[in-house]
Structure 1
Amino acid sequence: MYNALDWSAENCPVGRTMEIIGERWTVVVLREVFNGVRRFDDMRSHTGVPRQVLSNRLATLVDHGILQRTPYQEPGARQRFEYRLTGKGRDLYPILIAIRDWGDKYLVGDEGSPVEVTHRECGALVHTEVRCAAGHHVASPRDAAARPGPGAHRRDQPA
């Protein structure tokens, strides 16, 4: 029988992911880029994130290969950069949708969500859904079970 306490959490992908994206402003920056806001000044004015914090969060996302800096230049102005998602960054989309779904369920007021995400092809609302590799819908955490994976290490054994 699996007991989570018997296994090391040092190489946990959830913990490692949260080290990169687990800070509030980082998720806000990702939200903006997914919504098409790519320029520093636009992000800053739209979110109110402090300048240095925004600069740091963008640098972290670039350093981790989640965003890439793309140069642009307005006529008569110096070259600047906008931030675009990489493939690695686009793979975070389901996480942002899941966070939005949770917020829509528990945190929005009577007016409803200020933003809806729809499928471009059919117009239906986009939401997250958990499925197993065989395609079955997993409706509840009680319908899933954790078990040691190939990278698991017992707590009493060196990694």
Structure 2
Amino acid sequence: MVMQLEPALADRDRWKADRCSIDKAISAIGTRSAILLMREAYYGTTRFDDFARRVGVTEAVAAARLKELTALGVLAKQPYREPGQRTRYEYVLTDMGRDLLPVVLGLMHWGDKYLQDDNGPLKVVDKQSGSPVRVRIQNEDGEDVTIDDMRVDVRRD
């Protein structure tokens, strides 16, 4: 059985594909280096040198992507100064950046399940209980929803 998201076929041509939110999101943060920089921000990295080193990109690539992510609004630059040093900047998550977390965790979980032989090197857990954290699709009532339970409607508002 092939599962797929059910579109409202009669309405399918009533919206322009160039307004697709998926396309806009991928265009904004869809590079490998941007996603990996966000991964590091979720793991607590804030300093430029650490981002470049942990992601394994050149300083030029790190600088360009961090500038883009800051301009987008998922990261913000904050000044800091260590004793005897000049003022520098660190990168911190914004609310917009925090809201991207389920997307990145979803990619991680998918990669763990389908691309790793050993379920991947890391496990994300709840701090208090130690229970694994999962990304789920739910309706507004908090009930889990599968792809068979969904359809796509064209907004009319």
TM score, norm. by length of structure 1: 0.87
What's the secondary structure of 2:18's corresponding residue?
A: coil
Residue 150 of structure 1: how far off its partner (Å): 3.3
Give 1 or 2: higher helix fraction.
Answer: 2
Identity among equivalent pairs (%)? 34
2:135 is the alignment partner of 1:118? no
- CA deviation digits over 1:104-157, x for unaligned, max 9? 1111123x3211111112111111010112322113x22211110136xxxxxx
Q: Does 1:38 align with 2:46?
A: yes
Query: Is the Cα–Cα contact under 8 Å of residues 124 and 132 in structure 2 kept in the other structure?
Result: yes
Find the residue that maps to 1:18 and give its secondary structure: helix
Using the alignment, how far apart are the partners of 2:30 and 2:156 within structure 1? 25
Structure 2 SS opposite 1:58: helix
| Alignment check: 8 A CA contact 2:76 2:92 kept | yes
User: How far has the Cα of 1:6 moved from its partner?
Assistant: 4.5
The CA distance in 1 between the partners of 2:117 and 2:63, in whole Å, is 32
Code of the aligned partner of 2:137: V
Is the aligned partner of 1:15 residue 2:48?
A: no
| Superposition RMSD in Å | 1.6
Moved over 6 A (4+): none
In the alignment, which of 119, 130, 134 is matched to residue 127 of structure 1? Answer: 134
**8 Å contact kept, 2:33–2:55:** no
Q: What is the CA distance between 1:5 and its match in structure 2?
A: 4.1
The worse-fitting range, judged by mean Cα deviation, of 27-36 and 38-47 is 38-47
> 2:145 aligned with 1:147, yes or no?
no
Matched, 1:95 2:103: yes
Distance in 2 separating the partners of 1:75 and 1:98: 40
- Flag the 1:150–1:120 CA change in 2: closer, same or farther, 3 A: farther
Q: Which has the higher contact order (CA 8 A, sep 6+)?
A: 2
DSSP 3-state at the match of 1:10: helix
Please say if 1:138 is aligned against 2:145.
yes
* Corresponding residue for residue 117 of structure 2: 109
Runs of 5+ consecutive residues of structure 1 not aligned to the other structure: 152-159
How far the C-alpha of 1:7 sits from its partner, in A, is 2.9
8 A contact 2:14–2:154 mirrored in 1: no
Which letter maps to 2:131? A
SS in 2 for 1:61: helix
**Residues of 1 paired with 2:46 and 2:156: CA distance?**
38
Q: Supply the distance in 2 between the matched residues of 1:26 and 1:95 (Cα, whole angstroms).
A: 13
What are structure 2's unaligned runs of at least 5 residues? 1-6
Deviation at 1:38, TM superposition (A): 0.9
Aligned to 2:4: none
Which residue among 55, 62, 83 is the counterpart of 1:54?
62
